[in-house]
Copies of this chain bind each other. A is one copy, B any other.
Amino acid sequence: MNIVLLGSGNVATHLGRALVDAGHRITQVYSPTQAHAMVLADAVNARAIDDLAVVEPNADVYVIAVKDDAIAQVAAQLPPSSNGIVVHTAGSVAMEVFAGHAERYGVVYPVQTFSKAKAVDFSAVPVAVEASDPATYTALARLGESLSTRVFPCDSGQRLSLHVAAVFACNFANHLYAIGAGILREHGLDFGLIRPLILETAEKVMMHEPEDVQTGPAVRNDIGTMQRHLALLDGQPDLAELYRKLSERIGRQSALKT
Residues of A within 8 A of B (CB): 10, 67-69, 90, 92, 111-115, 117-118, 120, 124-126, 152, 154, 157-158, 160-181, 183-184, 186-189, 191-220, 222, 224-225, 228-229, 232-233, 238, 241-243, 245-246, 249-250, 253
Contacts and interface: CB of A to CB of B under 8 A. Distances in A.
A61 to B, nearest CB: 23
6 contacts: A69-B225, A115-B208, A165-B184, A169-B181, A175-B210, A198-B206
A241 B246 CA distance: 11
Given A175-B214, A229-B92, A170 B194 contact: yes
Per assembly, the copies of the chain total 2
Contacts of A179: 165, 168-169, 249
Nearest to A208: B117
Given A175-B246, A187-B158, A124 B196 contact: yes
Given A118-B213, A152-B193, 19 more contacts: A92-B229, A113-B201, A126-B193, A162-B189, A169-B181, A170-B197, A170-B200, A170-B216, A171-B214, A171-B250, A172-B216, A172-B246, A173-B176, A173-B201, A174-B213, A175-B246, A178-B209, A201-B202, A242-B246
